[in-house]
Structure 1
Amino acid sequence: MNFERINEKLSILADAAKYDVSCSSSGSKRQNKNNGLGNSSGMGICHSYTEDGRCVSLLKILLTNHCIFDCAYCVTRKSNDIQRAAFKVQEVVDLTINFYRRNYIEGLFLSSGIFKNADYTMERLIAVAKKLREEENFYGYIHLKSIPGASDELMREAGLYADRLSVNIEIPTEKGLKLLAPEKDRKDFIKPMQKVKHEIIQYKNEKKLLKKVPIYAPAGQSTQMIVGASGESDAEIMYTSAYFYKSFNLKRVYYSGYVPISYDNRLPSIGTSVPVLRENRLYQTDWLLRFYGFDVRELLNKDFPNLESDIDPKLSWALRNLDQFPVDVNTAELRMLLRVPGLGLKSVNKIIQARRFRKLNWENLKLIGAALNRAKYFLTCDSRTFETKDRTPAQIKSIILGQSNSKFKKDLSSQLNLFDASNFQTA
């Protein structure tokens, strides 16, 4: 094996893979058997993060950065003047096993540029996973990127070896995709997702009837979209997410802020990166849709097409709907408690349990873990202390932002004092 050449490929193809953020490893419970390598359970994958917060917990590489397409937003576009490389199937297998044995990784995240055609590329991705499972007896986590346009037969086979499958829809709207990637068709993204959805349902039904049914994509499927490359509003982005969650039973949708990689008059100007805060607000909105019972139309609509940058979407919704507050923490139903700013899933569950035994006051809520600096403007309880009335949304927002800024300055000052003390002690 030419180790210098392998290292060179690894440097090129690992760097090219960093733009794909959809590498979550949760949800799989593939148990080790017959003294094989690795184990993939809910807690079986160790996670680490880069400076910008992107997950690199797995060996995260492209099979190749050669590509037949010329998508304006993609670093591997065929017209981009970059160094190209491609792994052989066995090279990826050997890297995965060697990295695992050195305890560098506990799984593989494998994507690829498209060379020749979709099926040819998908076959090679599957070949890596198949060799790891059948020849190396590897039970670690494997996430394969589905290639848009791949055949149903290949998608079915991929799910037998991978824990998670995902196909990136890339641009939130069909209009945006036609603008920036005119060679691609939205239907090619939908086709493999539809197949995986049906296979997962089928295998779950068969599992109820038969004991020995092969595992099929136990961690489900996910997707990713680029934010800020084609000018969509937050409403358009989240409406697309809501559609895919509902239509394809996705585990996650990931939002990747556009990073300028080359000049193209269809794209935002070079140097105009999407703020990380926008990604964060989209993820917060996503969380509210999946776990807090919100409908996307409540959070974003024609009158409110974009999320506020200075406050989170839950607080923003509450301030726009003050007529629904305050709610009594001792009698309110679960649905309304989940909509109170400052109350999270854990604290709401604790409230539901605790109020069976006594009426809760502010001190009880503080012990439970509620963020009273926000919640007190939307709640009443068995106490009059801290209760506020007759404040406008603008006044409440101003107070909360003022408290947040004050806390930030106080925490920063404490950290600087500790830093100065540490320097003094060291000297």
Structure 2
Amino acid sequence: MTLEEKLSILSATAKYDVSCSFGERKKDFVYYSVANGRYVPILKILFSNACIYDCAYCINRKSNNIKRASFTVDEVVKLTVDFYKRNYIEGLFLSSAIIKDSNYTMEQLIKVAKKLREEEKFPGYIHLKIVPGADEKLVEKAGMYADRLSINVEFLKKDAFSILAPEKKPEAIQKPLQTSSIKYLQYIEEKKKYSHVKPYSPLGQTTQIIVGATNESDKKIIEFSSKLYKIYKLKRVYYSGYIAINKDKRLPQRSENSLREHRLYQTDFLIRFYNYSIEEIFDNCENLDLNIDPKSLWALKHPEFFPIDISRATFDELIRIPGIGLKSAKKIIMLRKHGILNFDTLKKTGISLKKAKNFITIKGKNFKDSKIYMPLFEFSQNGWDL
């Protein structure tokens, strides 16, 4: 099998892991990931899809009749370096199906990262997937070469593993996650004290939850992810909508609505960055409304807070307004300091006027009093405009 054929197979099967990428692909094998506060193009591949496990939901399960391929360490290194030199990519995301056993698979991923760093002097971003069940020493070694580590927790309950992924044990995921978390926090503390500290996964750890393969409510998922953030100090929990790629009586036969993913991400952001509580958002409901984003819904349910006069509102009040995010709230405060906040300058802050206009005033005036008045509130399904 040629290297190009392997790349085609192992980039296609890597797309089901969402714990690193956003947006449209540049090429079939290049995705975008957030690193150091910006989007960077990365080579996203599996080392191998020849798995010894038979997880019900996975395209790579051993009982599936699909094309199998495996890279060598040198092949992954060559692809990464070549694409980097051609400016296709700025980094690598490397995961794998489980070949032979967990430790053997983890060793291959580490060898790739080590060779890139030590022999090729590769300066780009590296994200390594921790293999469930990998030995603690291997997890510690992986963080020496990777900018970011991740391991997918997949499900909320142990029962789901016994039914859908019987070869996987929750402990085989929790233990490596704990190891990487402890090492990362140690690195952060040492970095505060000493100027020269050997990095350990300096961009932190992420994980992924499969949404829709089991019947947990949105509230249960958010409560679970909140615990993960608190216990393991994760940088991000990714919500991967279940895709019905296998016919299996243990699984739903319909793929999850992608809008549900957006609602979970919006809720995740509101809790972590906008000071909302879980109870505020769900308000005695178990699932999020698919027809309206959670921030707008909260605002509509609490008319006593609105309209807010943004000429004197606090930062915390500003970020409660639909259509106003963290950056635009800071810009509004800056415009106020310079005495130039009005409806015309407000447009330059980047807020969503369609969402915000019915919830704000400026010195007692609303949009009806301005020259840029826009008709009636319109709901947008943009998952990122909070």
Give the shorter-chain TM-score range: 0.7 to 0.9
Q: In the alignment, residue 7 of structure 2 is paired with which amino acid?
A: L
How far is 1:183 from its partner? 2.7
* Comparing 141-150 and 209-218, the one that deviates more: 209-218
Q: Pick from 383, 390, 411: which aligns with 2:364?
A: 383
Counterpart in the other structure of 1:164: 148
Superimposed CA distance per residue, residues 283-334 of structure 1 (whole angstroms, 9 cap, x where no aligned partner): 2222212221222232125x22222122111101112222333333233322
**C-alpha distance 173-377 of structure 1, shift in aligned 2 (>3 A):** farther
How far is 1:378 from its partner? 2.6
Counterpart in the other structure of 1:233: 217
**C-alpha distance 210-47 of structure 1, shift in aligned 2 (>3 A):** farther
Counterpart in the other structure of 1:311: 292
Q: In the alignment, residue 206 of structure 1 is paired with which amino acid?
A: E
1:22 lines up with 2:19 in the alignment: yes
* Comparing 158-167 and 177-186, the one that deviates more: 177-186
1:290 lines up with 2:272 in the alignment: yes
* Structure 1 residues 1-400: aligned runs within 5 Å: 4-24=1-21, 48-49=25-26, 55=32, 57-269=41-253, 272-300=254-282, 303-358=284-339, 362-386=343-367, 399-400=376-377
Give the distance between the partners of 2:24 and 2:115, measured in 1 at CA. Answer: 25
Superimposed CA distance per residue, residues 220-254 of structure 1 (whole angstroms, 9 cap, x where no aligned partner): 11111222111222212222221111211211111
* Comparing 317-326 and 352-361, the one that deviates more: 352-361
Q: Percent sequence identity over matched residues?
A: 51
Give the distance between the partners of 1:385 and 1:317, measured in 2 at CA. Answer: 21
Superimposed CA distance per residue, residues 70-92 of structure 1 (whole angstroms, 9 cap, x where no aligned partner): 11110111211212222222221
Contact 2:307 2:359 in 1 (8 A): yes
How far is 1:359 from its partner? 8.8
How far is 1:68 from its partner? 2.2
Give the distance between the partners of 2:270 and 2:249, measured in 1 at CA. Answer: 36
Give the distance between the partners of 2:347 and 2:147, measured in 1 at CA. Answer: 41
Q: Provide structure 2 residue ranges, at least 5 long, that are not aligned to the other structure.
A: 34-40, 370-374, 382-386
Give the distance between the partners of 1:368 and 1:99, measured in 2 at CA. Answer: 37
Superimposed CA distance per residue, residues 264-290 of structure 1 (whole angstroms, 9 cap, x where no aligned partner): 111111xx2222222222222222122
How far is 1:263 from its partner? 0.6
Which one has a bigger Cα radius of gyration? Answer: 1
Contact 1:156 1:195 in 2 (8 A): yes
Matched position secondary structure for 2:122: coil
Give the distance between the partners of 2:346 and 2:81, measured in 1 at CA. Answer: 50
Matched position secondary structure for 2:207: strand
Q: In the alignment, residue 8 of structure 2 is paired with which amino acid?
A: S
Give the distance between the partners of 1:237 and 1:123, measured in 2 at CA. Answer: 32
Number of equivalent positions: 368
How far is 1:360 from its partner? 5.0
Contact 1:359 1:382 in 2 (8 A): no
Give the distance between the partners of 2:88 and 2:346, measured in 1 at CA. Answer: 43
